[in-house]
């Protein structure tokens, strides 16, 4: 019985590995998304391969922003929440922090004349609407890649409270339709434990929520949970050409690799450094 369980687990992880390798293999196909097209058109990547798009992660302070703007990363990822004390405004911080030395307004102003793409990871619903207003006022309909991220549903092992999906989608609804919506599940993972994957109920609920959305949508998932979730995630991809799955994993050197697997064989790889 034990050997059978080990064999099944091995097959599931092999399927997840094959999906990842296939995504990387197909990352040079002729079809591409706006993020890749943007950096390719500016000559900032030498190949039409999204693996060449570099990332700066958790750019939540003035010093990290200054460093990221001087350095080579093309996409900047940062967390956004509402300052706990007055003046209440969107700031760059990750819970449990409640304050920051830089506001979203200043953060966006610093990026205004730069070519960097951005990904804003919202940690509080209260911060979304005023942040959208700042995006529209400061960047307008910019050609740069703009991703907005939130965990909107409870997922496997998740303990954090997700943001209300309808209120989040309503708040970001005025953004341009080419804005990438990164919509995920709250998750948890315990090394050595029997961690559950993304269930059919989870992916079907997510697809139902996103069915009426016109933006491109990517679903961030944990690589550690892929082996238990391959059929569910492949089904999710097949529901719309606008859908992708973002597979996130941390390696030994804390390099996060993201593989975007598009339905209809549009596959891209993104690397977070």
The predicted model gives 146-150 an average pLDDT of 96
Question: Which stretch of 8-17, 71-80, 233-242, 253-262 has the lowest confidence by average pLDDT?
Answer: 253-262
With cut-offs at 50, 70 and 90, classify the pLDDT of residue 262: very low
Cross-strand bridge partners of residue 270? 258
The predicted model gives 176-202 an average pLDDT of 93
Cβ–Cβ < 8 Å for 116, 105: no
User: Is residue 273 over pLDDT 60?
Assistant: no
User: Is residue 255 over pLDDT 70?
Assistant: no
Distance CA 147, CA 258 (A): 14
The three state secondary structure string of the chain is CHHHHHHHHHHHHHHHHHHHHHHHHHHHCCCCCHHHHHHHHCCCCCCCCHHHCEEECCCCCHHHHHHHHHCCCCEEEEEEEECCCCCCCEEECCCCCCCCCCEHHHHHHHHCCCCCEEEEEECCHHHHHHHHHHHHHHHCCCCCCEEEEEEEEECCECCCCCCCHHHHHHHCCCCCCCCEEEEEEEECCCCCCCCCCCCHHHHHHHHHHHCCCCCCEEEEEEHHHHHHCHHHHHHHHCCCCCEEEEEEEECCCCCEEEEEEEHHHCEEEEEEC
* C-alpha distances in Å from residue 58, one per residue of 54, 75, 123, 144, 171: 14, 11, 13, 19, 23
User: Is residue 30 over pLDDT 70?
Assistant: no
CA angle 92, 54, 259 (to 5 degrees): 100
Cross-strand bridge partners of residue 265? none
CATH code for position 35: 3.20.20
pLDDT: is 193 or 92 the higher one?
A: 92
With cut-offs at 50, 70 and 90, classify the pLDDT of residue 244: confident
The answer to whether the peptide bond before residue 96 is cis (omega within 30 degrees of 0) is yes
What pLDDT, on the 0 to 100 scale, is given for residue 182?
A: 95
What pLDDT, on the 0 to 100 scale, is given for residue 264?
A: 38
The range of the structural domain enclosing residue 169 comes to 2-272
* Dihedral over alpha carbons 166, 154, 246, 148 (to 10 degrees): 40
User: Is residue 138 over pLDDT 70?
Assistant: yes
The predicted model gives 83-99 an average pLDDT of 95
What pLDDT, on the 0 to 100 scale, is given for residue 134?
A: 97
Q: Is 225 exposed, middle or buried (0-12, 13-18, 19+ CB in 10 A)?
A: buried
What pLDDT, on the 0 to 100 scale, is given for residue 50?
A: 62
The predicted model gives 94-112 an average pLDDT of 96
pLDDT: is 127 or 31 the higher one?
A: 127
pLDDT in tens, 201-219: 999 999 999 999 999 999 9
Distance CA 184, CA 198 (A): 11
With cut-offs at 50, 70 and 90, classify the pLDDT of residue 191: confident
Question: Which stretch of 72-81, 108-117, 205-214, 254-263 has the lowest confidence by average pLDDT?
Answer: 254-263
Please count the structural domains in the chain.
Answer: 1
With cut-offs at 50, 70 and 90, classify the pLDDT of residue 272: very low
User: Is residue 197 over pLDDT 90?
Assistant: yes
pTM: 0.81
Place of tokens 């990332």: 55
């Amino acid at each position: 019985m034990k050997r059978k369980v080990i064999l099944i687990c091995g097959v599931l992880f092999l399927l997840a590995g094959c999906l990842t390798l296939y995504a990387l293999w197909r990352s040079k196909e002729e079809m591409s998304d706006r993020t890749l097209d943007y950096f390719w058109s500016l000559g900032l990547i030498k190949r039409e391969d999204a693996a060449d798009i570099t990332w700066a992660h958790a750019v939540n302070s003035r010093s990290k922003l200054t460093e990221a703007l001087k350095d080579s990363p093309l996409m900047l990822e940062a967390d956004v929440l509402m300052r706990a004390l007055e003046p209440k405004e969107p700031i760059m911080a990750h819970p449990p922090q409640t304050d920051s030395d830089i506001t979203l307004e200043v953060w966006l102003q610093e990026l205004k004349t730069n070519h960097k793409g951005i990904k804003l990871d919202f940690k509080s619903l209260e911060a979304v609407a005023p942040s959208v207003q700042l995006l529209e006022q400061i960047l307008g309909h910019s050609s740069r890649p703009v991703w907005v991220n939130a965990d909107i549903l409870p997922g496997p092992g998740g303990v954090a409270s997700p943001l209300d999906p309808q209120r989040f989608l309503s708040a970001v609804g005025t953004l341009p339709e080419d804005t990438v919506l990164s919509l995920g599940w709250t998750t948890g993972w315990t090394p050595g434990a029997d961690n559950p994957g993304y269930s059919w109920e989870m992916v079907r609920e997510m697809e139902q929520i996103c069915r009426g959305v016109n933006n491109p949508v990517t679903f961030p998932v944990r690589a550690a949970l892929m082996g238990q979730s391959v059929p569910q995630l492949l089904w999710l991809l097949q529901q719309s050409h606008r859908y992708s799955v973002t597979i996130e994993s941390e390696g030994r050197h804390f390099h996060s690799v993201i593989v975007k697997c598009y339905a209809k064989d549009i596959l891209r790889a993104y690397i977070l450094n």
